A and B are shown apart, each in its own frame.
Chain A
Amino acid sequence: MNNSTSTGTAMASASAASYLEFEKPLYRIHLEIEQLERDQLDGGRDFSKDLKDLRQRLKQMTKRLYSHLTAWETVLVARHPQRPLSPHYLGTMVRDFCEIHGDRLYGDDKAIITGFGRIGPHKVIVIGHNKGRDTSERIACNFGCAHPEGYRKALRAMKMAEKFGLPVVCLIDTQGAYPGIGAEERGISSAIAVNLREMSRLKTPIVCCVIGEGGSGGALGIGVGDRVAMFEHSFYSVISPEGCAAILWRTGEQRKLAAESLKLTAKDLMRLNIIDSVIKEPMGGAHRDPMATAASLEKYFTDSLRDLKRYKVDTLLRKRYERIRGLGSFFEKASENAKEPVESKPRSPSASDSKISVKSGSRSMTGMKRSSQPAS
């Protein structure tokens, strides 16, 4: 497929639009640099030392800002209009991508792209949400919100992967499944549910990565596997911060607080044992260096598939089941002699961390260390 539109480098042509609200200090330095460059050209004076200093400052400040983004800032970076989308990775990380279309039942949903490709030494089936880059593409693929036919196309591709012994690689980037009349009529619940069940028993390795936005069931519908990673500045949530704020505080204004409360960042979800790895992004976010980002992702998939291919199918499926079984397993047993099953007082961290869960031994922070350090 043609993906020349989606691989543009953001940093080179930085404009006011490419800076987010919280990046105002960066934008100010950026403007200063531009001004000096113009003065240098017009007046013939040499500002190279000042420029060097300013660029250094820009770099340092970017690093400082991005080293501790708030949850809401992470949401903004994950939704950045120039953030690399699935087609970018299909054009860079994946070699010789051969797209396949349609669910053989209803139609071809452009919100989910599926096809054959090569990642490193591995022949794979790739499945990815596509939000679309320009207006017409965005409308064609419903901003990455898939209909049932999208999930069924993904399942068809997965079954083919199983049949021909190819691993499956999923790129997650969606606000959620499409909330529309047609989606309900054609059984969006059923389509997602069937994918969850089938992905849990597909007889071939499945590795998933949230590359931008992980929106609830729409994300999970192609997000069950042997390994699940997230990019450093992506997020994954059961509901959008705006939606959560609207329900709990009855106003969208509290979205920052909601984002914080939902624990939707990669770091939080790593701590909750819901994902297996965090893949580092170039300084200042994936959109500042899409090629380096793709290289990190390629390394993650190559390494994970190499590990997973060593397992026999039975072992693979047993480990996958154990992994899924242990996801989000938090509960306490009410003590038998206590009248009240639960204390209403806030518990100490150690008490509420009493987690009973089945964990596969392979889940660790290794992915964080393993992923290549992108060039800055």
Chain B
Amino acid sequence: MIDRSERIDVPKGKWDRCEGCGHMLFHRELQENLFTCPKCDHHRRINARTRIEQLCDPESFEEFLKDLVPTDPLKFKDRVPYSERIKAQQDKTGETEAVVVGKAYIRGRPVILAVMNPAFIMASMGSVVGEKITSAIERATDEALPFVMVAASGGARMQEGMVSLMQMARTSAALARFDDAGGLYIVVCTDPTTAGVAASFASLGDLILAEPKAMVGFAGPRVIANTVKQELPEGFQSSEFMLEHGFVDRIVSRTDLRKEIGRIIDYCGK
């Protein structure tokens, strides 16, 4: 589980430095460019609300299951109690959990949308995240709407132990029913889409899109390097790597995402 969430916060100042090339940009310019660098195309991590604002038609997002909050099913013993970790994240982000789900319109097309929030414990998947995603899929099945998932996650939430692992099964089972019902499922892999989330719903899209240079993979690169005792190839576990090996359909720049999703829905959606 990687926690580099502090990188997501956008500084308040007027100027901003691109994390990719170090280029100095006006904050407003960066914002207008959807937090991608006009010079090097580096895609900065963004929180769920910013993503929803960028992706959905104005004012069209209608959130559900906003009031679900995590419990501490394991009474997890850690240096910091799990409930305190959660509280700190809630205070920091203003969110109750690491995913936001709801109904929205993307270029006039109605969808059920789930957006994972890398600012919240690196969008690790616990019971509430699994519940919200599973419910969203069931809703998409009932309402016969396309399901769009903007995935980002460091993986399972360790502090919920096996409870978190079971979310992989729950979400995948709901997707099986959605698939049986003929639903269209579009995944957008963003930085980082890894571990338990990669090995469940993020890999089950009818179409899998990915933002450029996002980290997409299963095992942690350090774990792999320790196991194989050799240097990892350049660009290993990136969107481009996954495209090359046939596990991603298209790499789509954030600025084209709305257009691309709309286009796919027109081809496949009912």
Contacts and interface: CB of A to CB of B under 8 A. Distances in A.
A331 B68 contact: yes
B188 to A, nearest CB: 15
A264 B158 CA distance: 12
Contacts of B241: 184-185
Interface in A216-250: 216-217, 220-221, 224, 236-239, 244, 247-249
A264 B161 contact: yes
17 contacts: A179-B224, A181-B224, A187-B246, A189-B202, A189-B218, A194-B204, A201-B177, A217-B218, A263-B74, A263-B161, A264-B162, A272-B73, A328-B160, A328-B163, A330-B127, A331-B131, A332-B68
A111 B245 CA distance: 23
Interface string A176-220: 011111011111111011101110110000000000000011001
Nearest to A345: B83
A10 B84 CA distance: 47
Contacts of A325: 134, 170, 173-174
B22 interface: no
Interface stretch (A37-45, A334-342, A367-375): A334-342
B42 to A, nearest CB: 23
Interface residues on B, range: 35 or more
B54 interface: no
Given A179-B220, A189-B203, A238-B156, 4 more contacts: A321-B177, A324-B173, A328-B163, A332-B70
* Best-surrounded residue of A224, A274, A331, A341 (most CB of chain B within 10 A): A331
A331 B128 contact: yes
A260 B165 contact: no
B232 interface: yes
Query: For A188, A192, A330, A333, which residue has the most chain B Cβ atoms within 10 angstroms?
Result: A330
Interface string A237-278: 111000010011100000001001111100001001010000
B162 A237 contact: yes
A202 B204 CA distance: 16
Given A238-B164, A261-B77, A247 B236 contact: no
B79 interface: yes
B161 A332 contact: no
A346 interface: yes
Interface stretch (B12-20, B23-31, B192-200, B260-268): B192-200
Interface in A330-367: 330-334, 336, 341-344, 346-347, 352, 354
Interface of B: 1, 67-79, 81, 83-84, 86-87, 90, 96, 127-128, 130-131, 134, 156, 158, 160-170, 172-177, 179-180, 195-196, 198-204, 217-220, 223-224, 227-228, 230, 232-233, 236-237, 241, 245-247
Contact of A274 (B69, B166, B232): B166
B162 A239 contact: no
B170 A324 contact: yes
A341 B69 contact: yes
A187 B247 contact: yes
Max chain B Cβ within 10 angstroms of own Cβ: one of A183, A189, A201, A248: A189
A327 interface: yes
Interface string A56-97: 000000000000000000000000000000000000000000
Given A196-B172, A331-B128, A186 B218 contact: no
B159 to A, nearest CB: 8
A189 B199 CA distance: 4
A347 B82 CA distance: 12
Interface of A: 177-181, 183-190, 192-194, 196-198, 200-201, 216-217, 220-221, 224, 236-239, 244, 247-249, 257, 260-264, 269, 272, 274, 320-321, 324-325, 327-334, 336, 341-344, 346-347, 352, 354
Contact of A328 (B167, B179, B247): B167
A352 B71 contact: yes
Contacts of B127: 328-331
Contacts of B72: 347, 352
**Chain B interface secondary structure, helix, strand, loop or mixed?**
helix
A184 B223 CA distance: 12
A180 B168 contact: no
B199 A193 contact: yes
- Interchain residue pairs A-B with the least CB separation, the first 7: A328-B166, A179-B219, A200-B173, A196-B172, A328-B163, A193-B203, A189-B198
A315 B162 CA distance: 27
A196 B224 contact: no
Given A189-B202, A261-B76, A333-B67, A217 B83 contact: no
Contacts of B162: 236-238, 262-264, 269, 272, 274, 328
Contacts of A260: 77
A216 B266 CA distance: 38
A349 to B, nearest CB: 8
B196 to A, nearest CB: 6
Given A200-B173, A201-B180, A336 B67 contact: yes
Contacts of A269: 162
Nearest to A324: B173
A247 B158 contact: yes
Residue among A177, A261, A352 with the highest chain B CB neighbour number at 10 A: A261
Contacts of A329: 127, 131, 170
B90 A341 contact: yes
A330 B165 CA distance: 13
A178 B223 CA distance: 10
A180 B224 contact: yes
Contact of B79 (A178, A189, A197, A249): A249
A224 B170 CA distance: 10
Contacts of A334: 67-69, 96
